[in-house]
């Protein structure tokens, strides 16, 4: 089925680390803590874990299975299994990739800038003013473009020599940094207050549909689901891989990093007495509160802060790579475009779109609501219908061609057919309403 000349991962843990690299990113260390702070702490975390198990894992296994089975990029994989009628869903994936990477590049640009500045000058005393100065305008645009160039450069190197090599080198560094930082944070005065804030909650928040919407959107965003990124990576995978095992490995590593990042963020914030700032949480919170904490900590803060920002930048790079790869792989498969040209052309177009977010932080927020929440939930919903109902039992043979684990796989199919679409249909309504009111507030001046 898959054509013989298509590149493959080299075997070993290259694929797993690349997929974990896609999943672990700004979503874990920035979006997760800010969402948890905004949505009632542990209530959000519990809901997030439930959604990861009930919705995230089944969709992840579906993406892995479709990708490996077809050995093609999302658009072509959907056509391969479902015919031309399903091509638009592939188009939706590519669109989501465009929108998400465009603003993700801007956030990553801030991160890289912080990392470089921390090493060269340390953190400025007034973090809020500094963030105000760098988050919008020419500076934000320049760092975004530089980050995009790096991302394009890696993707143009190919699956084995670009993506896999970078993931093998960088993911272990990220893991060590995050765990080390959490251990350090545990020694701070105020760590206990930080943990308490992280783990206690009003449980009523669990029943709040806004919390459900954010937790589901976050699960998709953090696991890189709903737009064919995992599908694309799996298309370079060989037949022998045990896909359910990979799905569990990727999802649990992703959760572990998000959870541990919370163990870094909250103690730091409480040790420095900056908790009010987190309560008033907005998109930029982590980019103001944490640098403020590092600045207030003096010399140690500079070292710790630089390490934190480097970890964040590493996560951002390996994630951005996977976003671009979806778009590039689609162009290679559909238009027979050479990889290097596809990477620079399409990556360049995405970088230009990102300028919109670089010059206007309100647009960045809006692109996150539409791309990072609504489009992913819509993609996940459509994909579960496709895998569960259009393919159905046929899908099972693609997971384990030898018919292993039949019972567990049947349960998976039931989840894909009923549980996943039902939950996502509800979430979709709230995501669409949220995205719409953000659009309306912006263009019609109402909220």
Which residues contact ligand TRP by CB under 6 A?
22-23, 25-28, 100, 221-222, 224, 227, 229, 319, 322-323, 376
C-alpha distances in Å from residue 301, one per residue of 123, 273, 278, 376: 8, 15, 19, 36
Q: Compute the least distance from the CB of residue 22 to ligand TRP, in Å.
A: 5
Q: How far apart are CA 168 and CA 318, in angstroms?
A: 10
Nearer residue to ligand TRP within complex by CB, 234 or 409: 234
Nearer residue to ligand TRP within complex by CB, 25 or 109: 25
Query: DSSP label at 125?
Result: S
Chain position whose Cβ is nearest to ligand TRP: 27
Q: Compute the least distance from the CB of residue 322 to ligand TRP, in Å.
A: 4
Q: Compute the least distance from the CB of residue 253 to ligand TRP, in Å.
A: 12
The greatest distance separating any two alpha carbons of the chain, rounded to the nearest whole angstrom, comes to 62
Nearer residue to ligand TRP within complex by CB, 65 or 319: 319
Q: How far apart are CA 186 and CA 164, in angstroms?
A: 33
**Crossing angle for the helix pair 57-70 and 74-82, to the nearest 10 degrees:** 80
Q: Compute the least distance from the CB of residue 371 to ligand TRP, in Å.
A: 8
Question: Could you tell me where the DSSP H helices lie in 160-242?
Answer: 165-186, 191-199, 209-222, 229-234
Element (H, E) at 238: none
Nearer residue to ligand TRP within complex by CB, 89 or 100: 100
332 SS3 class: helix
Nearer residue to ligand TRP within complex by CB, 28 or 235: 28
Instruction: Tally helices (H) and strands (E) across the chain.
Output: 23, 0
Q: Compute the least distance from the CB of residue 273 to ligand TRP, in Å.
A: 29
Question: Which distant-in-sequence residues (6+ apart) come within 8 Å of 167 by Cβ?
Answer: 14, 17, 18, 20, 21, 318
Nearer residue to ligand TRP within complex by CB, 28 or 65: 28
Q: Compute the least distance from the CB of residue 229 to ligand TRP, in Å.
A: 4
Start-to-end CA span in the chain (Å): 51
- C-beta neighbour count of 249 within 10 angstroms: 15
Nearer residue to ligand TRP within complex by CB, 33 or 322: 322
- C-beta neighbour count of 342 within 10 angstroms: 24
Nearer residue to ligand TRP within complex by CB, 225 or 423: 225
Q: Compute the least distance from the CB of residue 447 to ligand TRP, in Å.
A: 27
Q: Compute the least distance from the CB of residue 46 to ligand TRP, in Å.
A: 19
Query: DSSP label at 235?
Result: T
* Both tokens assigned to 362: 């309100």
Q: How far apart are CA 85 and CA 88, in angstroms?
A: 7
Q: Compute the least distance from the CB of residue 303 to ligand TRP, in Å.
A: 25
Q: Compute the least distance from the CB of residue 326 to ligand TRP, in Å.
A: 7
Q: How far apart are CA 124 and CA 115, in angstroms?
A: 13
**Crossing angle for the helix pair 87-120 and 376-385, to the nearest 10 degrees:** 140
Q: Compute the least distance from the CB of residue 93 to ligand TRP, in Å.
A: 9
Question: Could you tell me where the DSSP H helices lie in 336-419?
Answer: 339-358, 361-369, 376-385, 393-399, 406-414
Nearer residue to ligand TRP within complex by CB, 206 or 376: 376
Nearer residue to ligand TRP within complex by CB, 227 or 274: 227
Nearer residue to ligand TRP within complex by CB, 90 or 301: 90
Instruction: Identify the burial level of 397 via C-beta atoms within 10 angstroms of its C-beta, where 0-12 means exposed, 13-18 middle and 19 or more buried.
Output: middle
């Amino acid at each position: 089925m898959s054509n013989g000349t298509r590149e493959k991962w080299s075997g070993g843990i290259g694929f797993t680390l690349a997929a974990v690299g896609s999943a672990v990113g700004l979503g874990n260390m920035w979006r997760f803590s800010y969402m948890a702070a905004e949505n009632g702490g542990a209530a959000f975390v519990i809901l997030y874990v439930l959604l990861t198990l009930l919705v995230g894992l089944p969709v992840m296994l579906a993406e892995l299975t479709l990708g490996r089975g077809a050995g093609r990029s999302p658009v072509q994989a959907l056509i391969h299994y479902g015919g031309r009628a399903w091509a638009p869903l592939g188009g939706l994936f590519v669109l989501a990739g465009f929108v998400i990477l465009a603003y993700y590049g801007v956030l990553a640009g801030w991160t890289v800038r912080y990392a470089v500045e921390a090493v060269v000058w340390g953190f400025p005393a007034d973090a809020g003013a500094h963030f105000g100065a760098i988050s919008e305008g020419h500076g934000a645009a320049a760092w975004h473009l530089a980050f995009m160039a790096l991302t394009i450069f890696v993707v143009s190197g190919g699956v084995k020599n670009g993506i896999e090599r970078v993931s093998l080198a960088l993911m272990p560094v990220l893991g060590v940094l995050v765990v080390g930082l959490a251990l350090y944070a545990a020694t701070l005065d105020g760590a206990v207050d930080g943990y308490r804030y992280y783990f206690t909650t009003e449980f009523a928040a669990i029943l709040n549909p806004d919390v459900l919407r954010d937790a589901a959107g976050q699960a998709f965003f953090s696991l890189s689901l709903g737009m064919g990124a995992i599908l694309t990576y799996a298309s370079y995978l060989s037949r022998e891989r045990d896909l359910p095992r990979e799905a569990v490995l990727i999802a649990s590593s992703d959760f572990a990093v998000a959870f541990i990042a919370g163990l870094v963020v909250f103690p730091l914030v409480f040790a420095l007495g900056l908790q009010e700032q987190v309560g008033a949480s907005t998109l930029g919170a982590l980019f103001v509160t944490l640098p403020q904490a590092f600045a207030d900590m003096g010399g140690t803060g500079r070292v710790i802060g630089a390490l934190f920002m480097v970890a964040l930048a590493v996560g951002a790079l390996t994630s951005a790579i996977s976003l671009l790869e979806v778009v590039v792989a689609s162009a290679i498969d559909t238009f027979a475009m050479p990889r290097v040209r596809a990477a620079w052309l399409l990556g360049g177009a995405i970088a230009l779109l990102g300028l919109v977010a670089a010059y206007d932080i309100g647009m960045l927020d809006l692109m996150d609501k539409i791309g990072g929440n609504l489009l992913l939930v819509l993609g996940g919903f459509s994909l579960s219908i496709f895998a569960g109902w259009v393919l159905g039992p046929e899908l099972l043979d693609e997971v384990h061609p030898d018919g292993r684990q039949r019972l567990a796989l049947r349960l998976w199919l039931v989840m894909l057919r009923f549980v996943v679409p039902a939950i996502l249909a509800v979430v979709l309504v709230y995501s669409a309403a949220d995205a719409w009111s953000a659009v309306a507030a912006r263009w019609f001046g109402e909220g």
